Amino acid sequence: MANPIYLDHAATTPVRPEVLEAMLPYLSMTAFGNPSSAHRFGRTARAGLEQARREVAAALGTEPNQVIFTSGGTEADNHAVIGAALAARVRGGAMCAVVSAIEHKAILAAAHAVKHLGGEEIILPVNHAGRLELDALDEALMKRPAIVSVMWVNNEVGVVQPIPEIARRCADAKVPLHTDAVQAFGKIPFVLRDHPCALVTISGHKLGAPKGIGALIVRDRHIVEAMIHGGGQQFGIRPGTENVAGAVAFGRAATIAVQHLEAEAARLTTLRDRLAALILGSVPDIVVHGADAPRAPHVLSLGVPGADSETLLMHLDLADIAASGGSACSTGAVEPSHVLTAMGVPRDLALGSLRFSLGHETTAEEIDRVGVAFPGIVTKVRKLSTALGRA
């Protein structure tokens, strides 16, 4: 019996064996201490934490004192958007958050929270390929908002935003830019020193580290207010006893990802394109979302006419293939993805959309198995949809 195939790496990745090995001492008697303690147990933990901070900084191309460890991407996104809005209010500026329409729900919800706090949220449109409308950005920048947030790589369709150009325009307007780089870090090459991004979100479990560890890169501490209040850990920006084992794991995973980035990106691009070719060769009316824009190598988003994503996912799971859908259940009703809706994808096609996302253990043999199995699944689901429609 063939092994199950996991193609949902954009959701989470398995912990790399070498990452697990690196973090284990900090979960045992070897280095379990509180990094704020002055005794040898605390000093050992502190040394591991600071080494992890240096590793993450080196992988990103930034400074260690700019790395603020968090519980993950959602916390970092919220801190960036809401923290920047609160900081602007303290300075007497506009408490306004500008975000793109295809951001992760953590960003969209944070921008909405700014509105509830008495500020303003501005949602920027994207074109049919999922790229930000730069004219709309320029118009929003005229309001001198507290923060602009545009994700580097979209988590649903893999579209890469022109962050260097967006960062330049924000810098020229003297408006801080935050970018959610969760799906970009370790997947596409960039060096933060080359781009004037004020705040950057990254997450460990997309890179082979465990869930529950992420970071917010803060390049100017005046840009954000603290969201958690307590001790003085992490420069007072994010106080609380640090997740040392998680940080150590993140540092090791980040180092490995960047070391192998160029070769792995080329390999995953080849596998992603092979999967698309196999599927489209048998089911030519399937749509590749974001095909007209630059895309990260690990994400393939497909729209399947005449099918719904929930049924497709169920049949894929029965075939031992793990993927994710292009719609989400909201208040008991199935609604299309907000990303696909913002891109102008018709509702029926959006409701029949899937995301395959590849990782470092994905093999050519697995891609071929999915390429063979998927057309038959589409045929089965379409027949079922037709039968139910007639009923």
Give the 3-state secondary structure percentages of the chain, helix then strand then coil, rounded to 5: 45, 15, 40
CA distances for 310 relative to 94, 130, 315, 340, 347, angstroms: 43, 23, 9, 16, 15
Helix pair angle (364-390, 261-282), 10° resolution: 40
Please choose, from the candidates 182, 179, 215, the residue with its C-alpha nearest in 3D space to the C-alpha of residue 195.
Answer: 179
End-to-end CA distance of the chain: 37
Catalytic residues: 329
Measured distance CA(73)–CA(204) in Å, rounded? 9
Please choose, from the candidates 180, 157, 158, the residue with its C-alpha nearest in 3D space to the C-alpha of residue 73.
Answer: 180
Please tell me the number of Cα atoms within 13 Å of 166 on its side-chain side. Answer: 27
The SS3 assignment for 143 reads: coil
Measured distance CA(267)–CA(258) in Å, rounded? 14
Phi, psi of 345 (to 5 degrees): -70, 130
Phi, psi of 289 (to 5 degrees): -70, 135
